[in-house]
Amino acid sequence: MKSTITAVFFGATISASIFTPTTNADEAILAGGCFWCMESDFEKLEGVTDVVSGFTGGNTPNPTYNGNHKGHYEAVKITYNGDMLSYEDILDHFWVNIDPFDSEGQFCDKGPSYLSAIFVANEKERAIAEKTKADVVAQFPNQKVVTPILDASTFYPIKGDEIGHQDFYKKSPVRYKFYRWNCGRDQRLEEVWGEKAPGKNKS
């Protein structure tokens, strides 16, 4: 939040911009399996300004992709323009880009680090997340929605020699498309969400 303060010192008027810290209102941390795909899915959403891949949810300090990330989820931190998108908009987009019934991972990627989850920063976000989850549960009364809503914890961005994972779909588009197709992500999304699915033309 930006405000302006004006002060007078020895006859001179000085105006300065003061930036007041805000809450996580314009950020969201979500886990939906492979963070390559989550980056691609959210960076294409109008109003999203940045998506960073990383790890969260575990107790292991400084997790790495090729090293120890036990207990952590592959996740993304999404920064968005609150004048264009609401937190609920972000979550509505999240749900149709995951398989909410998979208790073993997401699509072809199995294991604890590939599970889906919503990480909330405060009670307002929790209430919105619970509402969107209840909407999904109502749409699928005969299936169990397993995606949990968890308290946000430290988010560790990908760094160092693993930075290649950030924006992988842009840096290695052919490899990314090959992976995504063979993983069956879009095929499964269409199976689950039908007309609400983002479609096969994502890259």
CATH number at residue 127: 3.30.1060.10
172 part of a folded domain: yes
Counting the structural domains of the chain, the total is 1
203 part of a folded domain: no
pLDDT at 6: 40
Q: What is the mean pLDDT of each run of 10 residues along the chain (203 residues)?
A: 39 34 68 94 94 93 84 95 96 98 97 97 97 98 98 89 76 93 96 86 43
Q: Is-catalytic flag, 108?
A: no
pLDDT at 85: 96
Yes or no: say if 75 and 54 are a contact pair by the CB < 8 Å rule. Answer: yes
Position 196, amino acid: K
Pick the catalytic residue: 34, 37, 108, 183?
34
What residues make up the domain containing 108? 25-196
pLDDT at 70: 85
* Helix, strand counts (H, E) of the chain: 6, 10
Beta bridge partners of 19: 2
What values do phi and psi take at 59, rounded to 5? Answer: -100, -10
Return all residues near 114 (Cβ < 8 A) that are at least 6 apart: 33, 34, 73, 74, 105, 106
Q: DSSP 3-state assignment of 85?
A: coil
pLDDT at 196: 93
pLDDT at 55: 94
Q: Which of 42, 3, 1, 44 is nearest to 25 (CA)?
A: 1
5 part of a folded domain: no
pLDDT at 168: 85
Residue 32 burial (CB count, 10 A): 28
Give the global pTM: 0.83
Give the span between the Cα atoms of 106 and 183, in whole angstroms.
9
50 part of a folded domain: yes
pLDDT at 33: 96
pLDDT at 11: 40
54 part of a folded domain: yes
Sign of the CA dihedral 157, 160, 165, 166?
Answer: positive
